[in-house]
A and B are shown apart, each in its own frame.
With several copies, the nearest count.
Chain A
């Protein structure tokens, strides 16, 4: 056990994205936040029919176009060029956020600076310096039936990102229901972190040591197993 090095043996972002993708249900409507969460679409399991929403007003978009084939009127919320799948639709921003706020999405996945054990999320700014920018994050944390986070388990300095109480400015209160980290899969229920899966080489003690609030269990803790070549 002692040979597990949290900074070296943790999952890559691609591996975290792969794990998150396994939980996306067939027939679901999903919004993937800009950046890291977008990577999840690449790992959508075969045979699952998933419709992706982007808050600038497109439902049913597909892969990025080949370089040079971009149409810059056809972009996602990250301002990257996209393509359309059959059955896509366009709509204005108020309708788009009606889909978000109105509870029509099955899943939203976001990145995080910090997640608290009560489900509070901080992911939009780390302090008062620089130019603040919020975008759709504060909307996306409300309304989707499930709000999940993908994140490294710890900061670059090794400090916890899963905490008792967020110290960074909040994006939303009590909104996160599941966290996919570089070490574990954790649900938030009743104001507690409930550990569902952890990397096989990692002890409970070691995981707890890099987590800022108590990890509870509720039934078996499964091995978090992902493809190695990601």
Chain B
């Protein structure tokens, strides 16, 4: 069950127009820049995939990664928690011009909705957002004297994630705070595509130290020296 793909271009080759795509990372940590850029390359070469819905905590920074996807005009909608960043012009311009949709989700609810999708839990109750405009139209209920909002799972067609170690059957670890949404998105997408810095044989990761078991990963590609989003943003790189 070798899930290895040799290039990032091949790894993202079957993402179609209109796909709902989860992209791991929080700010620059754990962002699969090479997979994102491969997707942008495909769009520039073929016009596809377009009308993508992207799920991420943020809405891109600078002129690389998700921000470059938005700038390129591939993104129809963002589902995220914090699109307003220090360097988020790409999203801001499109949003204020009415050219991109936004579903704003509290960060913990976003994480839990993604986890619920992976865990087969169609809905759950959370105290988060009760009584706020982000809960408008959602069912509410009292448990043990406290009010809660019902939230639905959030699934995706694809997840693009970034890990540290990986093996050919899809087991993965993550580097420090680069873990963030990556293991959750791996569970919640119909097809999960992972880039890892080190790709080894099965058994190369201690079974006790696997963070994402291979069952959640469909394709894995080695990117030995991955770019770091934050570094690219700080050095003003434009993709």
Contacts and interface: CB of A to CB of B under 8 A. Distances in A.
**Do A and B touch (CB < 8 Å)?**
yes
Contact of B27 (A75, A133, A173): A75
Question: Chain B interface: which size bin?
Answer: 35 or more
A73 B182 CA distance: 13
A138 B129 contact: yes
A97 B108 contact: yes
Contacts of B121: 101
Contacts of B176: 58, 71, 73-74, 90
Interface stretch (B13-21, B47-55, B63-71, B109-117): B109-117
A160 interface: no
A58 B112 contact: no
A51 B1 contact: yes
Interface in B103-134: 104-112, 114-115, 117-121, 126-134
Interface stretch (A80-88, A189-197, A202-210): A80-88
A92 B184 contact: yes
A132 B215 contact: no
Contacts of B211: 92
Contacts of A20: none
A29 B215 contact: yes
Contacts of A85: 202
Main secondary structure of the interface of A (DSSP, over half): loop
A104 interface: yes
A225 interface: no
A59 B107 contact: no
Contact of B180 (A60, A93, A131, A133): A93
Contacts of A101: 108, 119-121, 126-128
Given A97-B108, A131-B91, A171-B132, A74 B29 contact: yes
B169 A102 contact: no
Given A87-B203, A90-B179, A133 B171 contact: no
B231 A89 contact: no
B29 A134 contact: no
26 contacts: A53-B215, A56-B27, A60-B169, A73-B29, A73-B30, A75-B28, A75-B177, A79-B230, A85-B202, A89-B205, A92-B184, A93-B107, A93-B110, A94-B184, A98-B118, A99-B213, A101-B127, A131-B88, A134-B134, A135-B81, A135-B82, A136-B106, A142-B120, A142-B128, A169-B132, A172-B132
Enumerate the 8 nearest inter-chain pairs by beta-carbon distance, A residue then B residue, closest first. Answer: A87-B202, A101-B120, A97-B108, A139-B108, A86-B203, A133-B84, A173-B131, A98-B119
